[in-house]
Structure 1
Amino acid sequence: MSSKDVSFKPEKKTTIGHDGYGPLVLAIAIGTAGGFVFDWLKMPLAWMLGACVFATVAAFFGLRIGMKVRLRQGMIIVLGVLLGSGFTPELVQRLGEWAVSLCVLTGMTMTGAMLCYAWLRRTTDWDKPTCYFAAMPGGLNDMTIMGGAMGGEERAIALAHALRILTVVLTIPVWYRLVNGAQTSVLAMVHGPSGNDWKDYAVLIACGVVGAVAGRLLRLPASFMMGPMIVSALAHLGGLTNSQPPGFLVAAAQVVVGTAIGCRFVGAALDRLHKEMAASIGAALILIGCAVIFAKITVALTGLNLDATVLSYAPGGFAEMSLIGLALGIEIAMVATHHLFRLFLIIFTGPLVFRTFLKHDH
């Protein structure tokens, strides 16, 4: 089957999945139900994981679900502010300890990407640009847009990245639940003082608004999360506040982010995409294997915490991995710093490597 037949839609400018408010309401209702079920099962990151699973199943069954990109961006801003609150002066002093880990992450990213490229070339009939940008563990939208600009098939690249994120999100929290017995309610995720006053809320809202605008103007990768996270981190480091967004808002953000993952599979027919889906899931498992192996090497070299290092290296989305770290009580500044580094590394070097080594012989 040609990659041109892949009936899979990358994220549009306004909607993921079906357009309109009916599909949006249905998607959020399904996602919320999933969140309640997974919360009842005491799964870590229950609201995102449950929403993700229920929405994905709904998409494959052909239900008309959709997610407004603006709503997802708004919730991503909330999560960015929340992540920024995890940066403390003590953690910043530890940046030096992460130098070796960031170097190993560079090697792991290159190794994982090469292995995934070879795997996708062998198991699909996608062309070289499509395989290359599908193999890069970068942001879904960034890789889809770059890959399309370099002559790749956008729908196939989006499918590969959506499945990578889905595989990682379903694998890592469940592993921690089954092996380590991890279970976290959303309220336990927000460790800060619950009695926020109007000044705290004013600072948090300002962090979100200023961060989102600055992130867009500076064209940061994952700008709606990274911008607010950086501004929030500066506000918390500067002592302007030590508060966090309220727990119900964090739960709502998880539902929206999880539901959006599921909505990416609208139009992805299982019977026609099974070969590409199996290849994409295989690529995700290769990247997870690389993350575990290289994390163990890093721990042997540095003595860093293994769980924190695995999560820092895991090939999930920036928002999803940071949330999992938060839910599991793992050092969020370390996880976020490593994922930002990986995003910048891929965005700056990915197209360059492609032009140098692959463009002329595709």
Structure 2
Amino acid sequence: MSRTLAGHTALSLAVGLIGAGLATIAGLPAAPLIGAAITTSAAAWAGATLAVDTRVRDVGFLIIGLSLGSGFQADILEKAGSWVLSLAILCLSIFATLMIGKWLMQSLAKADRETATLASAPGTMSMAIAMAVEGRGDATRVTVIQSMRLLMLTAILPLALVGTDASMADAAPQPSIDWLHLCLLALAGWVCASLIKRTGFPAALLVGGMAISALAHVFGLVHGTPHPWLQFVGYCLIGSVIGSRFSGITLAAIRREAGSTALIVAVAAIVSAIFALCVSVITQLPIGQIWVAFAPGGVEAMAAIGLAMGFDPAYVAVHHLARISFLTLCLPLVLKR
């Protein structure tokens, strides 16, 4: 890590930690994630040069992945069988969000077809921005809208879920995994993530950590979750990563795309909420849990929100991984139309 990058990373984490602390004191839901994301975004908008080294970022992803895996129990296969309908409706929700957003961006925001498609993609932000940078649509416009979408959903969704039929307060506290087993899980998760990275699948550290932790919990090799303060660090890191994405994006660009961003976020939130309500009525699962699982934010942020809010981490994680997989296949096909 160069001295410059180390300095930017240290500044990003310091700003994020301050925000996480203030949000925790204020008693906000998913406080470290929301607080870190908002303060680092504000600092970036104010002109601070922020960045989080990928190796540091990956530590946060791994921590959250290990925490998510602790929600997988021996009855996971029985549970997963009841999720088939929910996963099918999720795919319909994703396609509806993408097509409605694309149509509105072209009709109201006067975006070209490729820009409208990539800006409306409900997730896989890195993939959408990468495609735009490679010459598919307006890269600046896609970057601003996708970054603002993730920040707004991260900040607003936990607040909207307060008072729903499942919450962190209802969840029984779990013991902390002892340090030896935690280190072994982290090492195995890192190795698993290295293999996943070769496939090009997003969020490799989160998926790798979750997969190893899930297997260990399902087979009864370990019990409990990573220490609460370690999870706090993971949330803070992810929030800082979200906010640091705005470094180099001018306020003028953000103001210019404010209307388009509000449009995309509203479409994404409303469509996902409608489909989540349908699933809740059919399956009797908690509406809050389903909405987090259907919400079109980044898999790391949405999985972290579900974990922080006390929802079933296995349900949330499986649905977001399915969303990424569906979009990875669907987005290039929609672009070709």
Q: Which moved more, 1:226-235 or 1:120-129?
A: 120-129
Which residue number corresponds to residue 340 of structure 1?
A: 321
Q: TM-score, normalised by structure 1?
A: 0.86
Secondary structure in structure 1 of the residue aligned to 2:52: strand
Farther-moved stretch of structure 1 (273-282 vs 79-88): 273-282
Residue 329 to residue 97, structure 1, CA distance change in 2 (3 Å): same
TM superposition score normalised by structure 2: 0.92
Alignment counterpart, residue 328 of structure 1, candidates 265, 285, 309? 309
Separation in 2 of the partners of 1:182 and 1:301?
A: 17
CA distance 1:134–1:288, change in 2 (3 Å): same
Contact 2:91–2:323 (CA under 8 A) maintained in structure 1: yes
Contact 2:185 2:212 in 1 (8 A): no
1-structure distance, mates of 2:167, 2:83? 27
1:259 match: 240
**How do 1:1-362 and structure 2 match up within 5 A?**
20-149=5-134, 151-177=136-162, 179-180=163-164, 191-194=173-176, 196-198=178-180, 200-355=181-336, 357=337
Alpha-carbon separation, structure 2, partners of 1:154 and 1:37: 34
Per the TM alignment, residue 142 of structure 1 is displaced from its structure 2 partner at its CA by 1.6
Q: Once the two structures are superposed, what CA deviation does each residue of 1:110-147 show, in whole Å capped at 9, x if it has no partner?
A: 11111111122234344321211111112211222234
Distance in 2 between residues matched to 1:45 and 1:255, nearest whole Å:
10
Specify the code of the residue in structure 1 equivalent to 2:214.
A
Q: Report the Cα offset of residue 295 of structure 1.
A: 1.0
Letter in 2 for 1:152: G
Give the direction of change, closer, same or farther, for the CA distance of 1:226–1:300 in structure 2 (3 Å limit).
same
Q: CA deviation at 1:353?
A: 2.6
CA 1:189–1:218 in structure 2 vs 1: closer, same or farther (change >3 Å)?
farther
State whether residues 43 and 183 of structure 1, in contact with CA within 8 Å, keep that contact through their aligned partners in structure 2: no
Contact 1:55 1:263 in 2 (8 A): yes
Q: Mark the runs of 5 or more structure 2 residues left unpaired by the alignment.
A: none
Contact 1:124 1:276 in 2 (8 A): no
CA contact (8 A) 1:220 1:226 kept: no
**Cα deviation, residue 36, structure 1:** 0.9
Decide whether aligned partners of structure 1 residues 195 and 280 sit closer, same or farther in structure 2, where only a CA change above 3 A counts.
closer
Deviates more, 1:245-254 or 1:327-336: 245-254
Any conservation in 2 of the 1:235–1:241 contact (CA below 8 Å)?
A: yes
Report how many aligned residue pairs link the two structures: 337
Does structure 2 conserve the Cα–Cα contact (< 8 Å) formed by 1:72 and 1:256? yes
CA RMSD, 1 decimal: 2.4
Return the offset for 1:180. Answer: 4.8
8 Å CA contact 1:108, 1:290 repeated in 2: yes
Inter-CA distance 242–181: structure 2 relative to 1 (3 Å threshold): closer
Alpha-carbon distance, 1:248 to partner: 1.8
Deviation at 1:347, TM superposition (A): 0.1
Give the Cα–Cα distance (whole angstroms) in 2 for the partners of residues 243 and 128 of structure 1.
Answer: 48
Displacement after TM superposition at 1:195 (Å)? 5.9
Change (3 A) 1:37 1:217: same
Whole-angstrom distance in 1 between the partners of 2:329 and 2:244: 29
1:167 touches 1:281 (CA, 8 Å); kept in 2?
no
Please give the secondary structure, in 2, of the residue aligned with 1:39: helix
Partner Cα separation in structure 1 for residue 93 and residue 31 of structure 2: 29
Identity %: 26
After TM superposition, the structure 1 stretch with the greater mean CA deviation from structure 2, 316-325 or 122-131, is 122-131
Query: Where does the alignment leave 5 or more consecutive residues of structure 1 unmatched?
Result: 1-13, 358-362
Asked if 2 retains the 8 angstrom alpha-carbon contact of 1:221 and 1:344, the reply is no
CA pair 189-56 structure 1, distance change in 2 beyond 3 A:
farther
After superposing on structure 2, the runs of 4+ consecutive aligned residues of structure 1 that deviate more than 6 Å are none
Q: Separation in 2 of the partners of 1:300 and 1:232?
A: 31
